[in-house]
Amino acid sequence: MSIEKSKKKRWNWKKIIVSFIGVLVIGLIFGFFFVHHYINKSLPQVEGTIEIPVSSEVVVYTDENGVPHIKADNAQDLYTAQGYVQAQNRIFQMELSRRQASGTLSELIGEATVSSDKYFRTLGLRRAAEKSYDHYSEDAKKVLQWFSDGVNAYIKDAKANGTLPVEFTLIGTEPGEWTPIDSLTIGKYMAFDLGGHWERQAFNYYLLNQFSLEKAYELFPSYPKGRMTILDEEEINIAASFKEAIIPEPFNGSNNWVISGEKTASGMPLLADDPHLGLGTPSIWYQMHLESNDLNVSGVIFAGVPGIILGHNENIAWGVTNTGPDVQQLYMEKRNPQNKEEYLFEGEWEKANMIKEPIKVKGKETVDYEVVETRHGPVVSEFAEDGGKDAVLSLRWTALDATTELQAILNLNKASNWEEFEKALEDFHAPAQNFVFSSIDGTIAYKANGKIPIYDNSEDALLPLPGWDQKYEWNDFIPFDELPKVVNPEKGFIATANNKVAGESYPYHISNVWAQPYRYERIFEVLAENDQLTVQDMKDLQMDAVNLRAREFVPIFIQTLKEEQLSEAEENALSVLREWNYVDDVDLAGPLIFDEWFAEIEAIMYEEISDDVMHLFSNMGQSTDELLRLGNDSIWIDDHGGIKSILKESLTKTVANLEDAYGKKQESWKWGDYHKVEFKHPLASANKVLGYYFNAEKPLPVNGSGVTPLAARHYDNGIVYHGASWRFVIDLDDISVGHHIVGPGQSGHVKSPWYNDQVEDWVEGNYHETTISNEEGMELKLIPEQ
């Protein structure tokens, strides 16, 4: 071959490669624009005209923060439009929510969610929703249907136009018809998410079977004596039965407070609310403003539910935190060895209700699953397939009764004063909530509202009870008029933070399990010392990162180790803590050292407890605090060599762990290098590419912790997963304007400008204003179908 021919051949290959790369680049560019176009065409329409099943024109103004302001002439058109708008922005979230609560995720996901589906089929949230529907008024049923009509109008349009969100394509499905039961089931799921302590009863039972009576009782929940309250004054294998139980965050709780005009700069009440729930993309909450001929209300609602659950209208404002009462009771059941469908009660065998709940699984055969319900409720130890024993546990829970929370919400939205608001609360049964209230007439009020069972002995709520004995049955609930309540207190404010509601003088038992008192005591501290409080003060308090747990224990720890022989690095760590101002600030090392130290203390103290039941140890922090206050008088501490030994060993491990992670220069350690918030999308865990695409932002350093008013609870890897899902402040001097943060943003569509626009706002405390008058924004007209 000649040199010239060889060069020509090489040139030809080079030309081919260049041409191939060119075609590939063009293909990638075309693919990018195709995918971009495909995803963008499912963006919610916020301008123009859409035909939906309404009787007259509805106008939707979408403001600069993505908040829809819906104006309709009548209730039917208003709630139909609300359903359509919610579905435009959150239909994938709505689909996952109803499926998770109903136990039908496996139809979409496959085997990975079978255990979850078994659990929720066992609880029977959807069965409870179906029972509840029959107890709703005809007016409330109409609202549920109108809302469903709006959702279904969107689903119909999106299927016809190929504009469903890309998530449906990725998992290979389409949403089915929306029904009123779907909305009620999502409501029941929120009752589940706010819990009721059955897991702690199971854990206490485990303690009694594994440790001495005295040692077990030390971990039984108790509220620290002298701390503030809201109102002045047969063997069952627990580890096997509940290994896969889905336990909500123990204190899906919140902060809220309301302040009399006597303590505000404006002379009118101030109200603040920040519900603490799981953080993700999109937000649990959807902010909306609804206006018709007899309604003008603004605030937030769960995607998939009509109305406004938290917020304000033209006359009143309100907020909630979780009361956390003992509304879940485990019962030990004796099963007939000769007939697995019968359970003992008062010497007789009673037939249980056997419910067929077949679980469809994507790509697999349907799982034949059966739920057993005794007189008390579902047998919850059965879902783990430990069904060969003759002793099981069933669950009695108020949320599994027929309840009418949505009816209450619809009436709350229209209330104009405390009397009307409290009247509406008669229909709000589960979950029990701490409602704070304010009105333009100057009234401030509080009520712990919901169905709370009467226990003759508060200790009965600590353990599973004998299900075969009549004397342990729930027979009644605290009368509505005797639930904890206060109106216009002398101190001029009311605050709640999931802490103990009432002192020993209150005649009824509410709970044995409460949040640690630190958030409430910090809120009280700030509100008590100022008589000219403003909206900005409320925002600052919601973002307050003062750690009263550290303020209590750091001096004790340092004093205890005063005479101990410590390494130079350990001494430096104590010096950092001495100089710390007890603020969980991202730029400080103090909160990082303190947090890791407590984790190591608990690892030592509780090393004898099986890993399989640790997830049932709700309120562990409260128990740890109480044991540390006991010091060497605690068996759990004494068994590990005493308080000095535990503190020394845990400090050594703390310093070593932090040096491994952040280097030996303690002056460079920062809380924010560890403590970061990330709003994860449900599909982000499928693979890294989807995580990169759908997650709202890279993790951002954030102040606060699990015990500060700025609530930011984190996993072992430091990622914050739980905190203020919505922040709200309002001054009733101008009740038309509310101040909000909805992290990460309003929209569930990844290409929307409102998908993640509030992430940094959430971290930094930048609120947006939403008005219920003079709406401005992009205008969408929803007109009657032709």
Residue 123, SS3? helix
Q: What is the DSSP letter of 458?
A: G
Provide the 10 A C-beta neighbour count for residue 247. Answer: 15
Residue 254 appears among annotated catalytic residues: yes
Residue 198's closest CA among 566, 605, 513?
513
| Residues in a beta bridge with 712 | 723
302 close to 186: Cβ distance less than 8 angstroms:
yes
State the DSSP H helix or E strand holding residue 193, giving kind and residue range, or none if neither. Answer: helix 180-193
402 close to 131: Cβ distance less than 8 angstroms:
yes
Provide the 10 A C-beta neighbour count for residue 491. Answer: 14
Task: Give dist(CA 742, CA 310) in Å, integer.
Answer: 13
Task: Give dist(CA 86, CA 747) in Å, integer.
Answer: 9
Provide the 10 A C-beta neighbour count for residue 138. Answer: 6
Q: Taking the alpha carbons of 624, 626, 631, 634 in that order, is the dihedral positive or negative?
A: negative
The upper half-sphere exposure of residue 532, i.e. CA atoms within 13 Å in the direction of its Cβ, equals 0
Place of tokens 């000095």: 644
Residue 60, SS3? strand
CA distances from 719 to 96, 165, 279, 675, 705 (A): 23, 28, 11, 6, 11
Task: Give dist(CA 692, CA 684) in Å, integer.
Answer: 7
Strands 444-449 and 433-439: antiparallel
The backbone torsions φ and ψ at residue 87, rounded to the nearest 5 degrees and listed phi first, read: -65, -40
Residue 726's closest CA among 736, 711, 748, 708?
711
594 close to 687: Cβ distance less than 8 angstroms:
no
Task: Give dist(CA 645, CA 475) in Å, integer.
Answer: 49
593 close to 669: Cβ distance less than 8 angstroms:
yes
Is 531 annotated in some ligand binding site?
Answer: no
Place of tokens 């501290």: 525
Full DSSP string of 6-23: HHHHHHHHHHHHHHHHHH
Residue 390's closest CA among 199, 205, 234?
234
Residue 139's closest CA among 330, 536, 406?
406
- State the catalytic residue, choosing from 132, 148, 183, 254: 254
Place of tokens 């007209």: 781
CA distances from 405 to 304, 329, 422, 430 (A): 14, 21, 13, 7
Residue 302, SS3? strand
Single-letter residue type at 226: G
Task: Give dist(CA 405, CA 428) in Å, integer.
Answer: 5
Q: Which residues are catalytic?
A: 254
Return binding residues. 326
Return binding residues for Ca(2+). 326
